[in-house]
Structures are given as structure tokens and as C-alpha cells.
Amino acid sequence: MRLMSQLKDGFRLFIRWVEMYTFRAIVAALLIIASIILVIEPGWLVAAVDSLRIPYAVFLVVFVMFFFLRNNYALASAGGIALLILAPGIWPYFKTASETPADVKAEKNETVVADFSVLHFNVKENNKKIATVAEAALASNADIVSMQELKENSFAIVDPLMREKYQYVLSDLTSPGFGMAIYSKYPIEKTAIIKSHDFPLLTGNIVLKKGTVSFIAATTSTPTNEKGYDKQLKQFKFIAEQSNTVDGALIVLGDMNAVPWSEQVETLLKTTQLKDSRKDLSATYPAQSPLQIPIDYIFHSPELSCEQFKTQGGTTSNHLGIIGYYNFKTPGNKKSFK
């Protein structure tokens, strides 16, 4: 009888051991597989979820610390492996801002000089206090200002305020959800509003004191389903095609509804040789959340160098603004849209 009792107790312990470690193995496998799937992005749904890679990475950091302190090294290790799989895609955006040219000069007590500055705002389509965006734009004193998600009623409020400082304007409000405007202190030439795949591009040249820079302003669709994801891919491809028609200095700016580590953005940069102005994460959306993702951009061509790039708040928009300071690498650049 004693032997039977011992066998039963031993079997129960074995079952508990299996259950305990099976649970840990399942959790570990799920964390690692989730990271692998996010990196691979197999399909529109995972690609959309991948925009939350940073919040997931934050969760993994907390997960690793919690189980490490509880001496559960198996789960802590699994969380660490999952984090390492994600790290290559997001780590570059957590580099310290001291690596920017502007801060290097500041350390040497040198004045940061830029040939021109560019500010971009997604103003929020139904912003009832839209004037705060115009006020922030005017206070920035940027040479070029991009605004997106404008509607006729919001444009009617913003435009008179902006024209106090910005004489040159290109706008298009004919596509619902894609209303845009470019304001400039300097002449805008060879403008065109190009429409394809249900969205417009604002294009043109701005004749600055030190040279001419071309611009493409665009905002892509939000990929909330497979159809929207496919549409966004076509839009990114179209932006790339138009960018490659420009000979010389170019900025491409707007709310792209995609994160820097997404296939869409990586492919755009690879096929155009454009560079992301970001020096660190500079997350922009949602503006009121402690956890934000970077979906607004100012890309620039190799003919330009970005001296400084940062976010700008102080408005009622659900996006933070972004502002960049740029220099022509070759003084007197004259090439542009043909």
C-alpha cells in the first residue's frame, strides 16, 4: 500500500512539474514567435499590428525585469530573446540626440546655421480649435510649413492667419480626408497637384536664398483592412515614382501612417535614396498618449543634410508636429522638377 501511495504522490508531482514547465514553455514560445512574426510581417494585419512594436518592446522590458527579480530565469530569458529579435528594427531610433550635427556644434559653442527649415503638422481633421496649429506654425518661424487633414472650414480659419507671414501657398481640399496646404516664405514654382490611387500629391519647387528645393507633400491611407493596406502600398510606390523624377534637392513630407521599420517606409527609402530626417524616435501619434509611434515624416534627398530634427507640440491636434533644419551640400543647387 505504501508503495502504491508513493507512486501516486510521485505521479502527482510529475504532473505538476509538467504543467508548470509546459505553461512556461508555452509563454516563452508565444513571446518569441510573436517577435518573429512582427519582424517578418506576413500580411496586412501583422503589418498593422507592427506599428505597436515599441509598446510591445516596453512590455517585454517590464516582463524581463519582473521575472528576473522573481528568479524565474526561464521566462526572463525568453522575454530577453523576444526583445533581441525586435531590437534591430527599433534600436536606431533610440540613439541619443547628441549624435545630431546641431548638438555636436552646440557642445563646441558653435552656432547652428541652416539654409532653410521645414515644419509639418497633421492638424486633425475635425479640430475645433484649429487656430492653435496656425499659431504654433507662426511661432516656429519655419521657412516652409506643411499642413494636412485640412477641410474647407478649418482652412478658412488657418489660411488668413498663415498668410500674415507666408505669402506663397499651394493647397488642395478636393479629396475628402486628404486636404493639404504648403506655405512658404519664398516663391513656389512649377506647382502640380497629382492624383492617383485615391489620394493627391502636392508638388513644386521653392526658390530659397541658397538654392532651389523640390517638395512632395503626401498623406497615405490608413491600413485598417487588407484593401486599405494594398492601397497604401500602391500609394507608397507612387510617391517613390514621383520622387525619382526629381533631379536635385528634394523633401518628401507628410503623415505616412506607417512606422519607420515598416516594409512601406524601408522600401521607399531603398528605391529613392531618400533619408529619414529622424535622429531619434521623435514619435508623433497620438499626441496626448504616453506611448506614441512615429508616423509623420520629412524625408530628404542626398543633396541635403539635416542639421536638427525634433517634434513640436503646443496644439490641439492629435499629432505632434515635426520640424527639420537643412543645408544644401552643394551651394547654389538649381536642379528641381523639370
Domain range summary for the chain, segments of one domain joined by +: 2-93, 95-328
- State yes or no: pLDDT of 174 exceeds 80: yes
What's residue 135's pLDDT? 94
What's residue 338's pLDDT? 45
What's residue 111's pLDDT? 57
- State yes or no: pLDDT of 278 exceeds 60: yes
Q: What residue has cell string 510581417?
A: 41
Instruction: Tell me which residue of 233, 153, 216 sits closest to 182, measured CA to CA.
Output: 216
User: Is the pTM of the predicted complex or chain greater than 0.75?
Assistant: yes
In terms of phi and psi (left: phi > 0; alpha: psi -120 to 50; beta: otherwise), the region of 102 is alpha
CATH topology classification for 95-328 = Deoxyribonuclease I; Chain A (3.60.10)
Q: Would you place residue 43 in the very low, low, confident or very high pLDDT band (cuts 50, 70, 90)? A: low
Mean pLDDT of the chain: 84
Instruction: Tell me which residue of 298, 252, 303 sits closest to 278, measured CA to CA.
Output: 298
Contact 86, 38 (CB under 8 A): yes
Rg (CA), the chain: 25
- Averaged pLDDT, 177-198: 91
Rounded-to-integer distance, Cα 33 and Cα 39, Å: 10
Contact 308, 112 (CB under 8 A): yes
Range in 128-142, 280-294, 302-316 with the lowest mean pLDDT: 280-294
What's residue 281's pLDDT? 83
User: Who wins on pLDDT, 29 or 184?
Assistant: 184
- Averaged pLDDT, 209-227: 90
**Helix/strand/coil for 319:** coil
Long-range pairs for 31-34 at CB < 8 Å and ≥24 separation?
31/60, 31/63, 31/78, 31/79, 31/81, 31/82, 32/78, 32/81, 32/82, 32/85, 34/82
Instruction: Tell me which residue of 257, 249, 185 sits closest to 223, measured CA to CA.
Output: 257
User: How crowded is residue 163: how many other Cβ atoms within 10 Å of its Cβ?
Assistant: 12
Helix-then-strand count for the chain, H and E:
9, 12
Contact 209, 191 (CB under 8 A): no
Q: Would you place residue 288 in the very low, low, confident or very high pLDDT band (cuts 50, 70, 90)? A: confident
**Helix/strand/coil for 42:** coil
